[in-house]
Amino acid sequence: MPRKTISFRLIASSIIWVAGSLLAAGLLLVLLFRNHIERRFDARLEDHMEELVAASEVAPDGTFQLTWTPSDPRYNRPLSGWYWQITRGGKVAAQSYSAWRSGLNAVATAVKTGSHVQEFLGPEKRPLRGLLESVTLPEARDHFIFAVAGPVSNIERDVAQFTSKLMITLGILGVGLVTAVLFQVRFGLEPLRAMERALSDIRAGRSERLPETFPAEVQPVVQELNALLDHNAAALERYRTRTGNLAHALKNPLTVMGNEIRDVEGEKGKLLKEQAAIVSKLINRHLSRARAAGSGALLGARTSVEAAVEDIRFSMLHLYQDRNLEIRVTETAGLWFKGDAQDLEEMLGNLIDNACKWARSKVMVSSKRFGRSVRITVEDDGPGIPEQQRAEVLERGRRLDLAAPGSGLGLGIVQDVAELYGGSLTLEISPLGGLSAELDLPAAE
């Protein structure tokens, strides 16, 4: 997932938050559990302490004795980790059998009043947690220090078992939370993906505006985009209207000039007529370029190749009906040009008209989809154009046969309009023997 996406930011921040929260919760729970285990452990030591104190007494002669020993068998098993010891004046008065021949170093600590918990090393250097209490027995002139201790490993074992189970539980919870975050992010950002698809439909020509069905948080953006699309379409329409008005404004003076030139005789009149015709064609060419430049920027424009070709074929059959030309159209169904219908008709009209003009008996129009482009091929069985002269016919106003009708601007206009759409025009030899004009244009879905 790219780092500069909203999804990555939401998922990354959520994962960090979930991991941090679970880690903090895990540490807190472990600390609370350890505190609980230690208190329960100390409570057990306190019970043993009370039992030991209750069994202790001082004889009338001042000697210390136990009326019974604690019943817990762990105090009778050597080096079991559970010990008790009673000291008097720094000397051991009694101790458990489990201590064997070792004493508890903690007893050396002076305990003035009350009891306290202490951790120390016991026999075999094993960590112990003990409860120490200073007790003054009846008939005794001095105080006794009672000590009861148990292994710290018992606490650590319980905490370790709890920690392992807690980690598994929190791990499963973390996976569940991350999965929920992924689903939430995907579900929450679905309107943005829907907007992306809607914009793709507009660019592909399948729709003209964004639907008004987005959530309230996204709807203002949708409204602004629709307003922008409407403004763009209106501006382009005004641009095309002004271009048409300019064409009419220029053609009227040219028409007047043409009418006046008819009265001019000789070579001078012929030259003026030719130049006036060239000026008229050049104006048409540049107006076509200007109109196509505006149409190419219009989002959502799309034109059926099949419909445009059929309309032009119908017109050409009537225009050249005296020549009995065969104009065959194949493989144009389902193909769409990503642009304005008038521009496509102008390009195809020039190509098919040029093919009909030079064809002996047959003209073939076909099309094919290549990735994001559609290739429209117009072929004829005429004389064709030699390879070294194909570039010349695309030049502005260049004609190879001056006796043929026309100004030589048709193929040049086709190339100009195609390039404005990011396409191209290529001239090749046709299998029919004449010229093959391949027009590559952007395709719409």
Q: Examine the fold and report which residue of 252, 274, 297 is the final residue of a domain before the chain moves on.
A: 297
173 within some domain? no
12 within some domain? no
Q: Are residues 264 and 381 in the same domain?
A: no
Q: Are residues 150 and 64 in the same domain?
A: yes
146 within some domain? yes
Task: Answer whether 418's CB lies under 8 Å from 441's CB.
Answer: yes
8 within some domain? no
Q: Examine the fold and report which residue of 233, 262, 297 is the final residue of a domain before the chain moves on.
A: 297
Segments of the chain with pLDDT less than 50: 108, 396-408
What pLDDT score does 300 carry? 62
What pLDDT score does 179 carry? 93
Give the helix ranges, DSSP H, for 79-218.
Answer: 152-188, 190-204
The residues, ordered by sequence, that sit 6+ positions from 216 with a Cβ below 8 Å of its Cβ are none
What pLDDT score does 302 carry? 78
What pLDDT score does 387 carry? 78
What pLDDT score does 229 carry? 82
349 within some domain? yes
What CA–CA distance (Å, rounded) separates 17 from 300?
43
What pLDDT score does 174 carry? 94
Residue 433's SS3 state is: coil
Q: Examine the fold and report which residue of 136, 158, 180 is the final residue of a domain before the chain moves on.
A: 158
Give, for 307, the enclosing helix (H) or strand (E).
helix 305-319
Q: Are strands 83-88 and 144-151 parallel, antiparallel or unpaired?
A: antiparallel
What pLDDT score does 407 carry? 39
Q: Are residues 135 and 50 in the same domain?
A: yes
What pLDDT score does 171 carry? 94
What pLDDT score does 408 carry? 43
CB count within 10 Å of CB 31 equals: 11
- Please return the burial class of 150, using the count of CB atoms within 10 Å of its CB with bins 0-12, 13-18 and 19+: buried
Q: Are residues 59 and 96 in the same domain?
A: yes
| Closest of 149, 207, 189 to residue 445, by C-alpha | 207
| 264, two tokens | 């001019």
14 within some domain? no
CB count within 10 Å of CB 183 equals: 10
Q: Are residues 246 and 262 in the same domain?
A: yes
Q: Are residues 419 and 308 in the same domain?
A: yes
Task: Answer whether 338's CB lies under 8 Å from 302's CB.
Answer: yes
What pLDDT score does 287 carry? 67
Q: Are residues 265 and 324 in the same domain?
A: no
Give, for 117, the enclosing helix (H) or strand (E).
strand 115-121
CATH of the domain at 357: 3.30.565.10
Domain holding 89, by residue range, is 27-158
What pLDDT score does 351 carry? 92
DSSP 422: T
Q: Are residues 290 and 307 in the same domain?
A: no
> How open is the CA angle 68-69-71, to the nearest 5 degrees?
115
pTM for this prediction: 0.55
Residue by residue, DSSP assigns 22-56 as HHHHHHHHHHHHHHHHHHHHHHHHHHHHHHHHHHE
182 within some domain? no
As for how many domains the chain has, the answer is 3
What CA–CA distance (Å, rounded) separates 207 from 198?
8
Q: Are residues 284 and 315 in the same domain?
A: no
Q: Are residues 309 and 435 in the same domain?
A: yes
What pLDDT score does 294 carry? 54
185 within some domain? no
CB count within 10 Å of CB 401 equals: 10
Q: Are residues 307 and 435 in the same domain?
A: yes
Q: Are residues 286 and 341 in the same domain?
A: no
| 246, two tokens | 């300019």
What CA–CA distance (Å, rounded) separates 332 from 310?
10
Distance from chain centroid for Cα 387: 49
Task: Answer whether 379's CB lies under 8 Å from 436's CB.
Answer: yes
